[in-house]
Amino acid sequence: MGADVIRRQFHVQETHATVIAAERYMELARRTIASAREEIEEYICARPDFLTALQPLPIDMAAPAVVRRMAAAAALAGVGPMAAVAGAIAQVTVEALVGAGATHVVVDNGGDVVLRIERPVTIGVFTGPAAIQGIALRIEPRPGILSVCTSSGIVGHSLSFGRADAATVIAASGSLADATATALANRVREASEEAVQEAIRDTLAEWTEGVLVVAGEQLGMGGRLPPLVRAPVDPRLISHG
């Protein structure tokens, strides 16, 4: 497969990131996002299976750091490495800005949100056609980075084998939250209370702080979720599949 074909396929899954931070950090954010995407694309040119795999691949210790993160997250979640791409890019961007001195940073990469904040932030969860609407999570300041990633079997560009309108995972790692959200969405095979609760039980792990599932009229929660609110939400900060 030629490099141009691989790049076109990858760009189909690529989304525009929204960065909320002090203006002086915006150029660094732009460079970090561009560099991470370029490293992933170049790796895919050499390893096309990294793009198409639906199961974990061995971690290539010679690969760029962002690629290794994706592979490691996929191995823990039991999905293909591209399930972690948006969260991984958002995470390395937040880390770069925090390393440069930023104290309040939010990166929303196509609905997968990674943040390090000094004031509260409310993140909406897009639930598509589900009966349950208007859900948002209020994130309070805390030490360290937090990630809110969502996958869906109903809406959005994410590949899913399930029927969840929204499957959201809260974790410290963007790549892990993203990959695990995909795994969670895959497990919701029908919009029933039993299916939702089983999927949540099978997904909760040491790296998941909390999970939320919306499927039709069903709302399921597990772990330690931030408070659910219906406050007005910044339209730039909507977690979705």
| pLDDT tens figures, 55-79 | 999 999 999 999 999 999 999 999 9
Output DSSP code: residue 84: G
Q: In what order do the strands lie in the sheet with 17-20?
A: 17-20, 105-109, 112-116, 146-151, 166-171, 210-215, 218-223
Instruction: Identify the residue with better confidence: 111 or 200.
Output: 200
CA atoms within 13 A on the CB side of 78: 8
Q: What pLDDT does 83 receive?
A: 95
Average pLDDT, the chain: 89
Other C-beta atoms lying within 10 Å of the C-beta of residue 224: 10
Listed by start position, the domains of the chain span 3-239
pTM for this predicted structure: 0.89
Q: What pLDDT does 208 receive?
A: 95
3-state secondary structure of 106: strand
CA–CA gap between residue 150 and residue 127 (Å, rounded): 10
| pLDDT tens figures, 1-38 | 333 333 334 443 444 789 999 999 999 999 999 999 99
Compute the radius of gyration of the chain from its Cα atoms.
17
Q: What pLDDT does 153 receive?
A: 66
As assigned by CATH, the class of the 3-239 domain is alpha beta
| pLDDT tens figures, 144-193 | 999 999 998 665 555 556 688 999 999 999 999 999 999 999 999 998 99
The encoded tokens of residue 33 equal 């996002």
